[in-house]
Chains A and B, each alone.
Chain A
Amino acid sequence: MTATTRAIHLGRQEKPKRGSLLLLIPGIASVVLLGVLPLFIVARNSFAVADDYGGITDGLTLENYAKLLDPVYSKTLLFSLGLGLLNTVVCLVIGYLTSYYIVSRPTNRQGFLLLLVIIPFWTDFLVRTFAWITILGSGGPIAGILGIFGIAGFSVIPSNLAVVLGLLYSFLPTAIFPIYASMRSIDPSLKEAATDLGASWWGVHRRVILPLSSPGILGAALLTFIPTMGVFVIPVLLGGGKDPLVGNLIVTLYTEFRNQPMGAAVSMVLLVLMLASMALVGLALKRSSTKRTTTKKTEA
């Protein structure tokens, strides 16, 4: 009896499995062909030797990585890490407050507010950056308002402040959405209960909403931090190109310097940094969820 049910059970399971595997082939093939394979080529190239014309010779060397220890490169890397962290923190704070605002609106209004966040996404990244040049430049509205108060000839561009503003603007939506998603699933009565029990605004956030939305916040942190490191248009157009980010470094190495192996090595370092930060976030999530289940158990 049990054997037959198991057989039936197995048979049922196997059939859709084979079918779905076949259906998955185009997907897997394109991921392998367009994602995994190029990645392996980049990884291989990072150990290769460049010839004079930007080609790759077959050699095997660690020199490309050793050269990255030069303070010239580590300075760019540290600057990018710093700027990436700064952008992430600012995006998270503003993203958290925005998400909280949206979540506390009536449900039928939330869709519209989210739409307002998405709309700029439909415009090309470069066009949006050029829009910021107009806004922050000497002929723009900010300079105009300052001019009324007698501060003439003021331009935010080029400066690192403009870079931070541009980055914040570009990555804010990617911070808002994951935080919003996890906040929406928080039962509003929890907040009411906390307020009833005398928690202040700050207390409600610190002890109830912030811990419960932490998966979204950590996800948002990843989604902002990682791409910020690879940005290369904003530092040039808004920052005057004097302080390059890792993204600029990679572009320069690949094109102007015709040094694919070193470009590949920098890319690999960036990739490892990304994987490490993802692992850290994963670990943090795991710890917070086990902590929650254990506290629940002790409470029970």
Chain B
Amino acid sequence: MKKLIVASVGVVAALALSSCSGTGGDAGPSTELNVYAWADEIPQTVFDAFTEETGIAVNVDNFDSNETMISKLAAGNSGYDIVEPSQYAVQQLVGQELLEPLDKSKIEGIDNLAPKFADPSYDPGLQYSVPWVWGTTGLLYNATCTGGEEITSWTSLFDPKWKGKINMLDNMLAAYIAGLQVNGYGADSTDEAEIAKATESLIEQKPLLSGYNSTNYGELVASGDVCISEAWGGTSTAKIVEQNPDVHYVLPEEGGSLWVDGLSIAKGAPHQDAAYEFINFLLRPEIAAMATNDGGLASANAAAQEHVTDQGLLSNAAVYASDEQVANADFIVDPGKAMRFYQDGWTRVKAS
């Protein structure tokens, strides 16, 4: 029995030691890089190519919401070098001082980015993030289900004509894009009265809904269980649009919204040199194109477009919405103190 105790103590001690020795402050060039990214947004092929060229091993962890990522970084000592926050999450991370400011002298190829991402409102001058992929929030509809009627506006989501055949994304900020824009306000409003009006619209809308679903809404539209749904553009939506000629993805005439997920360096990143090397690697047009070729997402890199193998995706609104289509789209930014108005409103919508 004594042996057993000694052995178990030994195992515990060994475990404790090994977990500590992971992130030592080694002097020479880094041989590894810890990346914390959205699931499937940086294709595995990109990591493989990076390791092959530089010899730097990449450890990847995934998250499925900005909130998860932020709370993990806020807990401290995450050990991550590269993180991939969405636009409003960049603001939150900067607010909590969880990101390193980027040293532009170490970054090459930032001119490859599309003009609309060169100086975004959420991160003026790209001090903390380098845009990687982007997408839109818009409308997905099934033309058979609507009887051939084209859907072009958020108002359809609030139209009793489609009662029981409408789906909304089960996400507060996403729901308020429609709620605010249908009333003629900006999707990034911080005005209490505007948000209250949007809340009213969303409460009135609830009896018309089939449900709130941000998981398998694409399948619901494809099968006709739902005729019109608020939808996020991107891989899965693009696939459904490609496979089913009746299903269309559009940005509403009120504007819709844009999201961008970019690369940032976490505060206290243990392998900063490798992190800059990684950012520069991802800014290369042929590498950035892999986000579309292997990941099915729109690259923020304008120079990458000629390297996209399926040129049809460049005109598929669910992936590359055109400049005219996104002309009125708002960036969803961090509502800051106004977050409270959204929360109170959304709670009332959900409980009504």
Give residues in A with beta carbon < 8 Å to B: 19, 22-23, 26, 52-55, 71-73, 75-76, 133, 137-139, 155, 157-158, 236-237, 239-242, 244, 252, 254-259
Contacts and interface: CB of A to CB of B under 8 A. Distances in A.
Given A54-B71, A240-B213, 4 more contacts: A22-B1, A52-B95, A52-B337, A240-B209
Given A73-B351, A236-B212, A256 B171 contact: yes
Contacts of B210: 158, 240
A53 B351 contact: no
A241 B211 contact: yes
Contacts of A258: 67, 70, 339
A155 to B, nearest CB: 6
A236 B67 contact: no
Contact of B351 (A23, A55, A75, A158): A75
* Interchain residue pairs A-B with the least CB separation, the first 6: A240-B211, A241-B212, A255-B67, A72-B351, A158-B211, A257-B343
Nearest to A238: B211
A242 B209 contact: yes
B74 interface: yes
A42 to B, nearest CB: 14
A137 B226 CA distance: 11
Nearest to A76: B351
B240 to A, nearest CB: 15
B225 A242 contact: no
Interface of B: 1, 4-5, 8, 12, 65, 67-68, 70-71, 74, 92, 95-96, 170-173, 206, 209-213, 215-216, 223-225, 336-337, 339, 343, 346-348, 350-351
Contacts of B211: 158, 239-242
Interface of A is mostly: loop
Residue among A53, A72, A255 with the highest chain B CB neighbour number at 10 A: A53
Contacts of A254: 67
Given A72-B348, A137-B223, A157-B225, A255 B65 contact: yes
Contacts of A19: 1
A19 B213 CA distance: 55
B138 to A, nearest CB: 20
Contacts of A237: 213, 215-216
11 contacts: A22-B5, A26-B8, A54-B71, A72-B348, A72-B351, A241-B211, A256-B67, A256-B171, A257-B339, A258-B339, A259-B343
Contacts of B212: 236, 240-242
B213 A53 contact: no
Contacts of B68: 255
Nearest to A72: B351
Nearest to A233: B215
A55 B97 CA distance: 12
A155 B225 contact: yes
A26 B216 CA distance: 43
Contact of B70 (A53, A139, A236, A242): A53
A81 to B, nearest CB: 15
Interface of B is mostly: helix
A258 B336 CA distance: 11
A133 B216 CA distance: 10
B215 A236 contact: yes
A241 B213 contact: yes
Contact of A244 (B213, B337, B350): B350
B96 A55 contact: yes
Contact of A53 (B96, B224, B225, B343): B96
A254 B272 CA distance: 31
Residue among B71, B95, B171 with the highest chain A CB neighbour number at 10 A: B71
Nearest to B206: A242
Contacts of A242: 206, 209, 211-212
A239 B213 CA distance: 10
A251 B336 CA distance: 20
Contacts of A257: 172, 339, 343, 346
Contact of A54 (B74, B209, B348): B74
B350 A52 contact: no
A139 to B, nearest CB: 6
Contacts of A137: 223, 225
B170 to A, nearest CB: 5
A236 B92 contact: no
Nearest to B91: A53
A263 to B, nearest CB: 11
B93 to A, nearest CB: 9
Contacts of A236: 170, 212-213, 215
A158 to B, nearest CB: 4
A53 B92 contact: yes
B67 A54 contact: yes
Nearest to B342: A257
Nearest to B207: A242
Contacts of B215: 236-237
A82 to B, nearest CB: 14
A137 B206 CA distance: 21
Given A54-B67, A237-B215, A255-B65, A23 B5 contact: yes
Nearest to B348: A72
A72 B347 contact: yes
Contacts of B224: 138
A138 B225 contact: yes
Given A55-B74, A258-B339, A23 B1 contact: yes
Contacts of B209: 240, 242
A52 B213 contact: no
